[in-house]
Structure 1
Amino acid sequence: MAFLAIRASNGLFLCRASIPVAYRTKELLQTRRGNLHRTLTRIGSKISIERVNSAPADTEYIFDRYLEGSSTLPGKRILLIGCGTIGSFLAQQLAQCGAGSRDGELTLVDPDLLYPANLGRHLLGAPFLYENKANACAEFIMEQLPPLNIRPVANYAESVEIGPSLYDLVIDATGEEALSIALNHRAVKARPASPPFLFVWLEGNGAVAKSVLTGDLDHVCLKCLKPRLTQAPRHKTLKSAEDIIVERNAACGAGAYVPFPVSRSVGAAALACDHVPTAAQAIG
C-alpha cells in the first residue's frame, strides 16, 4: 500500500494505491527499483486506487479561521499567572485563539494543587486531582490541541523573570489583590521596558467581572484604581450595602471561600480573552 499526494492551486489531493501482494517483494521494491514504474504500468489494471478524504489540521487553518484581523495570538509570547477558577478557563480560551502556536509560547504559572473543593468551578476534573494546576492545565490543553507550545511553571509568580524580551503580554488571573498590586508595582517600576499587564478578577460573590489592561504611560495603572488599599476604590461597582458572603467548611478543615457559580468564572475568563487582542495589537 502506498500514498500519493498531489498539491494543486485549489488544494492537496491524496490517494491510496493497493499493490497486489505478489508484487510487494524485496527484489521488485529494492533490487529492481529502477524499473518499478514500468512494472506498475504493466499491472495497472491490478492496482486499486482509492481517493483519501482528509481535512486540514495545521495551525494556520485551525487558528486563522476567525474574522479578518481578530486572530492576533499566533506567534505571541504570553505569560498567564494563575490557573485557578478564572485562569484555567482563560488558558483554554487563549489556546483556542492560537496562543502557543507557530513560534509563540503560552506560559502557565501556578504553585497550587487541584483539590476536590476546586472541581465545582475549574476547567479540570477528577483525573487531575492533587496535581499541580499549571502542569495539569498544560497537559489537558495540549491533549486537545497538540500543535501548541505550552510551558507550565509549578511555582510562585515571584520566581518568574518578566521582561519585554521574554513576554509580549503578562496576565494576572489570580484575583489576589496583594499579588496583583505587587505585579503592578513590578510593571510600573520597569516602565517603559515592561510588557503590558492585563489583570482580571471578580468582585463580590461573582457579581462583577473586571479586566484592566495597563502598560501605556499615558493611562492609569492598577494602583490608580485604588490608591490606598484600606480605602474604597475610585469607581465603585458594587452597592455599599452589599456584603460579600464568605463560607467555611469547618468540618473538613478547609479554608474560607467566596461562593459563586462557575458561570462567573467562565464569564470573567471570556472578558479577559476579549481584551487580549487589544493588547496583542498594541504590541504589534
Structure 2
Amino acid sequence: MVILILDLFNSLNSFENIKNVKEIKKNNDNFEVNYSKIYEFTLNIQKQNFDIIMCIPEEWNLKLIDFYIKDYKNIKFIPHLEENGKICLFDKEGLLVEENLNGIAIESIERLNKVLYEGLNDINKLDFINEFDAYWNLLSTNNIAKSNVNLSNDIKIIKYKIKNNKKNIDLVFSDDENSFKVYNIKGSIKNAIYIPIKSKEYIYPPDWRKNFDFYKFCSLLNIEYIFSSKYINKCGNDLVLLINITQPNKTNCLISLYIKNIKQYTINIKNNTLILPNITGIPLSVYRCDEEYLLGRGGIERVFSNKKILVIGCGSVGGYLVDELVKSGFLNICLVDYDILSYNNIYRHLLGLEYIGEYKTTAIIRYLSKNLPHAKVISHEDSIRLLLEEGSLELSDFDLIISSTGDINLNRWLNKYIKIKKIITPVIYLWNEALGIGSHALYIKDNYLGCFECTIGKDELGIYDKTSYFERGQTFTKKMNSCNSTFVPYGSIHSVRTAILGVDIAIKHMNGNIKENFLISIKDDGTVYLKENLKLSNRYIKQKNKQQIISGENFDRKNCFICKRKT
C-alpha cells in the first residue's frame, strides 16, 4: 500500500493544475463512508481554485475513488454536484474497473477536470434535464410520493393517500382508488391536481443548496392560474400538485408540491395578475410506479399488455408461467384451474404457506395484486372442458392459449376440440418430465403442419408418448400417503425452466416471428435417473445437444388421426 500511495502522490503532483497535495488523517463527519485514505489538494480550473478532498475507500477496486468540493455551497450550481459536495464522475452500472489504484486516480482526476470545466462553461447543462429528478430529490429532504398516475396531456383531478408520518410526507398518487390496496395505507382518499406542462424552453431544477423559492418556481412553470381555477375547489384543506414537465428533448420530469392549509390563504387578482399570499410549498420526490414507466424499465413491449392470454393449469409450471408472463408485459390473462393449493405444493410452486387452502387461480391473482399491481387477471375455478362445453368460455376470444397442466389426456382432448371447432388461436403446450429429466414446449397453430396428437405413438403394445426421455413401461409417480397424494416428482427449478420456455415462445409469437409448428425439448443429464434404476429412451440417447427443436413438417404424422388428412 505504501508503494501505491507514493505513486499516487507523484501522479497528483504530475497535474499542472493541482497544488498543495496533503494527506488528511481524520475522516470528515459528513462522509457516509469510512475511507482508508483521504487527501486534499487545490485544483485550478480557468483561474478559479477549488479545494478538493479525494477519498479512497478500502474497496477502491469496487467503489472507485470519491471526490468532494470543500466549499461546494459557494461555487456555481453545476451538474453532477451531489450532497456534501460530492462530484459524480462515473456511472458505475456496467463499468469495468482495472485493479490499478494509480490508474484509477489519474482517470478520475481527468474526469473531474472535464466535469468542472464543462459545468463552469455550461457545456453539460443538458445533464440537469436528463438527471432532473436527482437534483429535485436533494431539495425534497425525504418527503416522497409514489405515482401510479397515467401521464396524460390534460389537467385532471387525481387521488392520493398519505401515510400517518409526522416527520416526513409520504403519499401515493393514483388515477383511481384501486391502486391504494397495494400500499396498505390507512386513512381517507383525497383529491390532488395533475398538471401537464409542455415547455418550449428547458426548465432547470432549482439549486438544492438554497431555500426553495416557491413563487419563483411557480412563475417559471407558469402555473399560478391553478390557484384561482375550479380544480382547487375540489381539493381539501391541503393542496397537492403532481406536475409533469415535458422538456423540449421529450424528457419527462415528474415533481410534486405540497401546500398545507391552502384554504387559509386569500388569493387576489389585480390588473389580471394573480397576487399570491405568503404560501409555503414543500417539494416532494416522485417515484413513478405507473404501468408505462415500470414496463419500460423492464424493456417490455407495451403492445403485449392488450393481448389476451388464456392459461390452463396453475400448478407448478403454470404459477411461474403467469408470474413471468406478467413481468414480460402480458397483463390481460385469464386463468383456468379448479385445484386448491396444499402443503404438498409449496416447494415447487410460486406461492407459499400464506395461500394454503385457496384456489390456485385466486391465490395467484391475490399474489399478483400485491406485487404486480397493473396486471388485469381473471379466473375460472372449473375444468376447461366443462367451461367450453357450457359455453362459459370461448377460445377464439384469446390471442394465445397456454396449456400448462401437464395432463397428456386433457391436452389431446383440447387439441381435438380446437381442430374440430377450427379455432385459429395458437396453443402452447408445456410439460415437465419426471425427476426433471426434460422440459417440453409444443407450439401448435391450426394452419401449420402438425398437432399435439402427432406426439402420440401407437403400436401393438398400445399408445405412448413419443417425446418422452424415458423408456416405456416404467412407473414414475410416487405417493406420500394414499392414492390421493400421488404425484410426479420434479423440482421447482425444472418448472421454472419450462415456464421460461413458454414465455419466450409467447413473446416470439406476439412479435410475429413464428412461421411453423414446432416442439422444443430440453434434456437434463441422466445421472439422477440412472441412480433410480430408470431406463432412458432412444430419443434421449440420440439427442446430441441439450436442446432440440423439431419442426411440425418433420413430425411423424402417419398415425395421427387428426393430421393424416392434411398434406
TM (normalized to structure 2)?
0.43
Separation in 1, partners of 2:244, 2:480: 64
**Alignment check: 8 A CA contact 1:72 1:277 kept:** no
Shift in Å, 1:74: 1.3
Q: Does 1:60 align with 2:298?
A: no
Separation in 1, partners of 2:502, 2:268: 59
Mark the structure with the bigger radius of gyration: 2
Separation in 1, partners of 2:431, 2:268: 66
Q: Could you tell me which amino acid in structure 2 is paired with residue 90 of structure 1?
A: L
Give the corresponding residue for 1:133.
360
Q: Does 1:2 align with 2:239?
A: yes
Cα deviation code 1:112-138 (max 9, x no counterpart): 111111112111111111111111111
Q: Could you tell me which amino acid in structure 1 is paired with residue 506 of structure 2?
A: V
Q: What is the 5 A alignment of 1:36-75?
A: 38-40=274-276, 42-43=277-278, 47-67=279-299, 73-75=304-306
**Alignment check: 8 A CA contact 1:113 1:130 kept:** yes
**Alignment check: 8 A CA contact 2:292 2:302 kept:** no
Give the corresponding residue for 2:308.
77
Q: How many residues align?
A: 264
Separation in 2, partners of 1:201, 1:238: 13
Cα deviation code 1:29-67 (max 9, x no counterpart): 6xx6768x8452x42xxx333332223222222223455
Q: Could you tell me which amino acid in structure 1 is paired with residue 290 of structure 2?
A: D
Give the corresponding residue for 1:189.
420
Higher strand share: 2
Q: State the secondary structure of the residue aligned to 2:294.
A: helix
Unaligned runs of 5+ in 2: 1-237, 515-567
Comparing 196-205 and 50-59, the one that deviates more: 50-59
Q: State the secondary structure of the residue aligned to 2:463.
A: coil
**Alignment check: 8 A CA contact 2:321 2:499 kept:** yes
Separation in 1, partners of 2:504, 2:480: 35
Give the corresponding residue for 1:15.
256
Q: State the secondary structure of the residue aligned to 1:113.
A: coil
Separation in 1, partners of 2:475, 2:283: 63
Q: What is the 5 A alignment of 1:224-235?
A: 224-228=454-458, 230-234=462-466
Shift in Å, 1:111: 0.5
Larger RCO, structure (CA 8 Å, separation 6 or more): 1
Unaligned runs of 5+ in 1: none
Q: Percent same amino acid at aligned positions?
A: 21
Shift in Å, 1:198: 0.6
Shift in Å, 1:208: 0.3
Q: What is the 5 A alignment of 1:144-223?
A: 144-158=371-385, 159-160=387-388, 161-164=393-396, 166-191=397-422, 193-223=423-453
Separation in 2, partners of 1:141, 1:154: 17
Cα deviation code 1:176-198 (max 9, x no counterpart): 1111111111111122x331111
**Alignment check: 8 A CA contact 1:204 1:238 kept:** no
Separation in 1, partners of 2:475, 2:296: 42
**Alignment check: 8 A CA contact 2:245 2:252 kept:** yes
In structure 2, relative to structure 1, the CA distance for the partners of 1:170 and 1:249 (3 Å cut) is same
TM (normalized to structure 1)?
0.82
Give the corresponding residue for 2:263.
24
In structure 2, relative to structure 1, the CA distance for the partners of 1:263 and 1:2 (3 Å cut) is same
Give the corresponding residue for 2:471.
240
**Alignment check: 8 A CA contact 2:269 2:275 kept:** no
Q: Could you tell me which amino acid in structure 2 is paired with residue 24 of structure 1?
A: K
**Alignment check: 8 A CA contact 1:112 1:133 kept:** yes
Separation in 2, partners of 1:84, 1:33: 64
**Alignment check: 8 A CA contact 1:15 1:49 kept:** no
2:321 aligned to 90, 107, 110, which one? Answer: 90
Q: Could you tell me which amino acid in structure 2 is paired with residue 188 of structure 1?
A: K
Shift in Å, 1:6: 4.1
Give the corresponding residue for 1:111.
338
**Alignment check: 8 A CA contact 2:256 2:286 kept:** no
In structure 2, relative to structure 1, the CA distance for the partners of 1:173 and 1:239 (3 Å cut) is closer
